[in-house]
Every structure is written in structure tokens, then in C-alpha cells.
Amino acid sequence: MRKGHGIFLGLLFLVTPLSFSCSKKPVAPQPQSQPQITVSSSQVVFESEGSSSDVSITSNGNWTATSNSSTIWFTISQASGGSGNVTLKLTAYANNTAAGREAIVTINTSNGKATQIEVSQPDNQNLLAKFAMVSPKLLTNNGNPLLDFMFTADPTAVEYNGRVYVYATNDNQQYEKVGPGGKNTAESIHTLVMMSSDDMANWTYHGLINTAVLAPWTASSWAPSIEYRMEKDGKTHFYMYYSDNAFGSAVLTSTSPVGPWKDPLGKNIVDHSVPGVDVNVPFDPGVVIDNKGTGWLVFGGGTEKTPYMPGNARIVKLGTDMISLAGSISEIPAPYFNEASDLNFINGTWVYNYCTNWDPRNVWPYSNILAPTAACISYMTSKTPLDSSSWQYGNNYFKNPGDNVGDNVGPYTNNHSHLFKFNQKYYFAYHAMYLQDYFNTTGGFRNVGIEEAPMDTTNGVNIPMINATFKGPSQTKLLNPFILQQAETTAGTSGHVQFDTAGIVGNMVAIGQIDKQVLMVRGADFSKQIPAKFEARVKGTGQIDVYVNSLNGPALVSLKCDVKNWTTLSQQITQKIPNGVGNIYYVFYGDGFLFDDWQFE
């Protein structure tokens, strides 16, 4: 394509062929055919102001061309015509606002038939200025929240095959239901979010677990907890427990960390129909498998007996199948308990974590430990978890984000967390309202963050105070740009970026818009090799501009796409970049354009 010309999606509107018959005898005149028209392109995208694009029109009758734009920002070389072939030239005026523009050109025939051409121009703003306030991550070294293009909450995590997989409540589903002015009452959430990383900086979005389809009998789906185990069939089985609203706790299973998932029971594993469930809100399940391969489940919440000792935290041993209960249900006497049960097994010790309530701390029997603050995370330990008297209170170790201990990551909220190990190091997952300002809402929509947790396990289990930050954990290894990487793997985005399923479980594709969007990956290693070519798997009409280290200056490479089917396109790189480690920014645009994966060579 010549420089300065638009990007076309050529959709041919087929013309019914004219037919004639020959005979030695005279024949009656044939009725005239209806006016027909063929347009060479149904979409025109101006790459820059002043650029022009040609559209060929073939017609057997009269036609007119009109635009629906309320402001005149482009010209059409010819407004009407008759039979034959005509080339219309569309030219964009100067764009003083630098904002994106769009319009519809309608070609009408004399009998009222119409064909439309979509006309658009992406914005041409200064990219650094355009994306300065879209995310706390894109133009910074911040690692939190993990995903900056959607709301997520109530995290759980598990390490598997060199990656950490994080699962969360999909607060974004409620946000999409009620909008920026609505409240996060959570009843419309029927999906769980999946993401993973092998470096704690670049996170791959694997899509959603649709509980409304998998378990339509559940009311809502919140607060997942996951474990896995090698079973007798030689396969690794994953067990995902989650809250069925406040009515109970359900379970899904899979032989892959990203699904497909199935509902093995068709009912809750814990609710009021189960003998021994004597708390009125048996939700927020937390699961762990101990060193003998035995599963354990904690859950609970609801009406307090007293503020100091609410009496509604529970633990039960799971059956060998992990989807049944194997014994009686015991109480965990958790002081000032509210919700968010979570369980770990560390060096022969069961470690129970929970969110405290909001009540005044009028009773506190410990002289050597401060009373926990409101809605913070506290922990308890036991060697014999079914013996209620064996549980010992440890301390509180994560304040409510609203206390502003650490960074100011958002206002007060409920607290929900998970301790996990990755690459022989402990981490702490939680949520805070990181993105509300960026999404123009105060409705209580949350996002998952992670911090390093320098645990002391040399003499029992001691968890130090952990603070919420924007910075988050350090990147554990560099990203290799010379192997295939997914477009849905990001360390930051321009926010509000949308992804869709790609027909493969756990794989997503980025969806283009008329306006420019950005995907960024962090810590790409160009120290050993300088790239000569860039390639990407794409579909539709659009463009990817690739920048390294900064959105300033010319793009390292621009890849233009105009294909109807999934295709891997490549572009030679003529610019040089310095050896070293840098961030890569993918600025992509095009209405309906799809971006699946990328690689340098």
C-alpha cells in the first residue's frame, strides 16, 4: 500500500449479471434491469490528516453519495453519477483536535437501494500525553494492579509448571451492568477471572469461567479458592471452590488450570442442607491439600454471637475425591472474625487467614499482641485443625487499604487475601480499589494486587506486616521477545482494552477500536540479539505500531493488516535499538481488528 493511502477492508457487493438471448426471429424488448451498484471498499481509514483514499464505484444507473457527519472533516470528489465506472477520492481535512473521527458515506441508487462505506481516522495526539492518565501501570514501573483493564477481586493463586495462576471475582461484570455511577452490590457477577504469569510482572489474561453456564443453579460466583493434585488416572486435577452468593460454597473441576471446567455435583458442597453447617452464611471457601494429600476446606460468615468471638468460622476435612466431606465440621475460634477464610499448610502447620469485622475492639485478652484493626487480615495456626482449642491467634499482618498504610491505593473496602508460594518465595495476594479513579467511578469496584511476603518459617510460622503498594513485586525473570508471546500478556495497558475468546480454551485476542489503544510488556531482553523482523498473528483491517522503551519518536515498526482470515504478517525492522532490557509498547487500532500474538526475529 502506498504511503498516505487509507487502509481498506474490501468487501465486494456482487452484481447480478445481465443476461441476453439471441434468435433469428425478432423478440420483444426485455424489461430494463434494476439499478445495481458495486463498491470496492466498505471501510476507509485515513492514516493521517490530508491523506486520501480511492473507492471505485460501478453502477448501471444513477447514484448519489452523502455523508452523515455533522461536521465536514473530509471531502468526496463526486457527489453523484450515472452508469459506468467512477473512482471517488475521499480526502481528510486537518484534524485540529487530534481526536479520532468517524462517519458513514451512503451511496443511494435511483430505486432507493443503498450501500454504505465506513469512514474513520484514528486520533493523532501525542502518545505520551494521550496515555498519561489511563492507568497506574502503563507509563510507570508499577506492578499493581495485576490487570489494569478490568476490575477483579477476592484472589486465590496456585503455582503450576513454572507459572502462578491467579483467579478472582469478576467485579467488572457488575461494573458493566450498573455503569460508572452504580454500586458494586455483586449480585450480577456470574463469572470468575483467570490470569497467570511466569515473572510476576507480565500477566496473561486467560478469560472467564462462566458459572452461569457451568452451574446455572448458583445465584452468583465470588471468591474462588483453588488446589490441584495428581490423581490415579495419571492426570493433574484442579479443584476450584467458590461462593454461591451467600447461600453456600460450590466446586468446579478441570484437568487444566484454564479449563474447560465442569460442575461435578450439580449442587453446593457446603450449604444449609449439609449436616453440621450451622453458620447462616457458609461462603468464602478456602482450600488446601496437606503433605499427605488430604484436602481441607474452611468457610463461614454471617450473624455474630459476640463481636469479639463471632463463632462462625468453620473447617472440615474433604473426602478423597475432593468434592465431598469426610467428617464433622469444627469451629475455628477466630477473634473478631468477619469473612474471607483462607487456609495454608506450611511446615506441618495449618495457617488460617481471615478478614476481621468492623466492630469496636472492646475486648482483647492478649497483652503482648495488639488488637487487630478494622477489616484487616489476621492469621491463626494449629497442628491439629479439627481441635478448636488448638488454634492460636498469631497477629494481624495486612491493614485495610483505607488505612493508607503503604501507598494510598484506595478507600476502605472489605478485605480478601491469599498467601501462596512461587519459585520458593512467598507472596500475598489481595484487592484494593486501584482503578476507580481511572474508570471514573466510586462504586466500590476492586482490583487484585500482589506483594512479596518475607515469611519466617524457621520457628513456627510468623507473618510480618505487609503493606499495599502500587509497585508490587519485582520481576523474577526477563521476557523473551524472540519466542511467541500472547497479545493478552501485559504489564500495562491504556485501560478499557477489550479481549475476546479465540476458540482455544484459555486463549484470548485483543480487539481493536477506531481510537488507538496500547498493550505494554515489561522487561523484554534485547541484550543478546537485535531484532531484524517483527511478526504478529492478526485478522481484519488495522495497524500495529511498535515502540521500544518510550512512546516518543517514530515507531520501531508499523505493521498494516487487511486480511479476512487469521494470518501471520511480518515487517522488516530498519531502525536500530540499543542492546539491553526495555519495555515494548504495541499501539494498535482498527475497528474490529484482532491481535492474537507476536514475536521478534
Confidence band of 48 (pLDDT split at 50, 70, 90) = low
pLDDT value, residue 189 = 98
Write the CB contacts of 511 (distance below 8 Å, at least 6 apart in sequence).
497, 498, 499, 500, 592, 593, 594
258: pLDDT strictly greater than 70:
yes
| The model's pTM | 0.82
Closest by alpha carbon to 263, among 248, 242, 283? 242
2.60.40.10, 3.40.1350.10, 3.30.9.10, 2.160.20.10: which CATH number matches 7-121?
A: 2.60.40.10
Distance CA 414, CA 517 (A): 32
456: pLDDT strictly greater than 90:
no
* 31-40, 312-321, 357-366: the lowest-pLDDT one: 31-40
544: pLDDT strictly greater than 60:
yes
Distance CA 446, CA 435 (A): 7
β partners of residue 251: 241
588 neighbors 547 (Cβ within 8 angstroms): no
3.30.1360.70, 2.115.10.20, 3.40.1160.10, 2.130.10.30: which CATH number matches 153-452?
A: 2.115.10.20
Largest CA distance in the chain: 117
β partners of residue 393: 380
pLDDT value, residue 35 = 66
Distances (CA, A) of 589 to 63, 203, 402, 449: 32, 22, 38, 29
Confidence band of 110 (pLDDT split at 50, 70, 90) = confident
590: pLDDT strictly greater than 90:
yes
Where exactly are the structural domains of the chain? 7-121, 153-452, 485-600
Distance CA 79, CA 67 (A): 10
Distance CA 282, CA 298 (A): 9
Radius of gyration of the chain (CA): 29
**3-state class of 402 per DSSP?**
helix
β partners of residue 430: 449
Confidence band of 37 (pLDDT split at 50, 70, 90) = confident
Confidence band of 93 (pLDDT split at 50, 70, 90) = confident
Phi, psi of 172 (to 5 degrees): -65, -30
β partners of residue 10: none
**3-state class of 388 per DSSP?**
helix
Distance CA 220, CA 212 (A): 8
Q: What is the homologous superfamily of the domain 485-600 according to CATH? A: Galactose-binding domain-like (2.60.120.260)
β partners of residue 81: 63
30: pLDDT strictly greater than 80:
no
Write the CB contacts of 146 (distance below 8 Å, at least 6 apart in sequence).
152, 166, 195, 197, 203, 447, 448, 449, 450
pLDDT value, residue 4 = 40
Distances (CA, A) of 466 to 201, 210, 241, 454, 455: 19, 33, 26, 9, 10
Phi, psi of 311 (to 5 degrees): 75, 30
pLDDT value, residue 186 = 97
Q: What is the DSSP letter of 177?
A: H
pLDDT value, residue 337 = 98
**3-state class of 6 per DSSP?**
coil
- Report which secondary-structure segment, H or E, holds 243: strand 236-244
Strand order in the sheet with 52-59: 37-39, 52-59, 84-92, 74-76
- pLDDT, mean of residues 253-258: 98
* 41-45, 201-205, 286-290, 429-433: the lowest-pLDDT one: 41-45
Distance CA 480, CA 477 (A): 9
Closest by alpha carbon to 409, among 157, 175, 143? 143
66: pLDDT strictly greater than 80:
yes
Comparison of pLDDT for 552 and 508, the residue scoring more: 508
pLDDT value, residue 124 = 62
Instruction: Report the DSSP pairing between strands 489-490 and 52-59.
Output: unpaired
* 125-129, 290-294, 302-306: the lowest-pLDDT one: 125-129
- pLDDT, mean of residues 423-451: 97
* 9-23, 87-101, 413-427, 448-462: the lowest-pLDDT one: 9-23
**Cell matching residue 11:** 468487501
Confidence band of 15 (pLDDT split at 50, 70, 90) = very low
pLDDT value, residue 553 = 83
**Cell matching residue 564:** 479476512
Distances (CA, A) of 400 to 7, 369, 436: 51, 18, 17
The per-residue pLDDT of the chain, averaged, comes to: 91
Distance CA 64, CA 357 (A): 70
14 neighbors 39 (Cβ within 8 angstroms): no
**Cell matching residue 220:** 452468583
Distance CA 509, CA 521 (A): 15
The pLDDT tens digits for 111-124 are: 778 889 989 876 66
pLDDT value, residue 25 = 43
Comparison of pLDDT for 235 and 23, the residue scoring more: 235
pLDDT value, residue 99 = 60
Return the beta strands (E) in 245-383 as ranges. 248-254, 270-271, 286-289, 295-300, 313-317, 330-331, 337-346, 349-356, 377-382
393 neighbors 380 (Cβ within 8 angstroms): yes
Judged on CB neighbours under 10 Å (0-12, 13-18, 19+), 86 is middle
- Report which secondary-structure segment, H or E, holds 583: strand 581-589
Q: Residue 72 CB: number of other CB atoms within 10 A?
A: 9
Q: Distance of alpha carbon 282 from its chain centroid, rounded?
A: 29
3-class SS letters over 532-569: CEEEEEEEEEEEEEEEECCCCCCCCEEEEEEEEEEEEE
192 neighbors 165 (Cβ within 8 angstroms): no
**3-state class of 316 per DSSP?**
strand
Distance CA 370, CA 443 (A): 32
DSSP state letters, 436-493: TTTTT--S---EEEEEE---B-SSS-B---B-B-SS-SPP-S-B-TTS-EETTEESEE
Share of the chain above pLDDT 90, in %: 78
**Cell matching residue 472:** 508490587
Closest by alpha carbon to 288, among 368, 353, 342? 342
Closest by alpha carbon to 222, among 196, 195, 192? 192
- Report which secondary-structure segment, H or E, holds 153: strand 153-160
pLDDT value, residue 34 = 66
pLDDT value, residue 72 = 80
Closest by alpha carbon to 315, among 391, 258, 367, 374? 391
